[in-house]
Chain A
């Protein structure tokens, strides 16, 4: 119940295309769903996050779609650019001290020019 399942494991998208990464969870107590972006040799960095009381959040070219009934959320990257090539992790937390974040296994995105 503590797992966050992420797919696909890897993704190749052409420049200008839409990248879509999906995550699913079981624990309905999760109340915070961030996405982290990690470049090679660096630590993960927060990209965008959503709470379950909204169905969508957009920041620039990045959008989180959230489906509470299906227990799924996804990251959409519009107009994907080569600079977006990185590993993306979805995560979830219950919001209490100590549980920190439960991470998905990651998706490696390559945007070809």
Chain B
């Protein structure tokens, strides 16, 4: 039972490089999210999607882009990586509205920008 799968697990980027964090879920959930987690800061919402073709900004969207071409996949694109984007990134999904429905998280992607 895979759930939410993220790749890569670890990545080191140089300043100015770009990359895509991949996320896929096999639970047929409509809602998908990207959070970032910084030490002592909890989780901050970057972007979310309520279904294929529909995305919207969360609390900290600057420097990121997303797309949702299928129900299963929700990749996060980092353009022109900056040291401030060093963080742990979590993809998540939920069957319906986030509130009141369990949000299932992936195991995280550790990104270091040097």
* Residues in A lying within 8 Å of B, measured CB to CB: 6, 9, 31-32, 34, 41-46, 49, 51, 89, 93-101, 103-106
Contacts and interface: CB of A to CB of B under 8 A. Distances in A.
B13 interface: no
Interface stretch (B14-22, B65-73, B75-83, B101-109): B101-109
B106 A100 contact: no
Contact of B106 (A43, A103, A104): A43
Interface of B: 4, 31, 33, 40-45, 48, 50, 56, 58, 90, 92, 97-100, 102-103, 105-108
Nearest to B102: A46
Contact of B43 (A32, A44, A95): A44
A54 B53 CA distance: 38
30 contacts: A6-B42, A31-B100, A32-B100, A41-B107, A41-B108, A43-B90, A43-B105, A43-B106, A43-B107, A43-B108, A44-B90, A44-B105, A45-B105, A46-B102, A51-B100, A93-B99, A95-B97, A95-B98, A97-B97, A97-B98, A98-B50, A100-B31, A100-B45, A100-B48, A100-B99, A100-B103, A101-B43, A101-B45, A101-B103, A103-B42
Contact of B98 (A45, A93, A104): A93
B9 to A, nearest CB: 9
A105 to B, nearest CB: 4
Contacts of B102: 34, 46, 49
Nearest to A2: B59
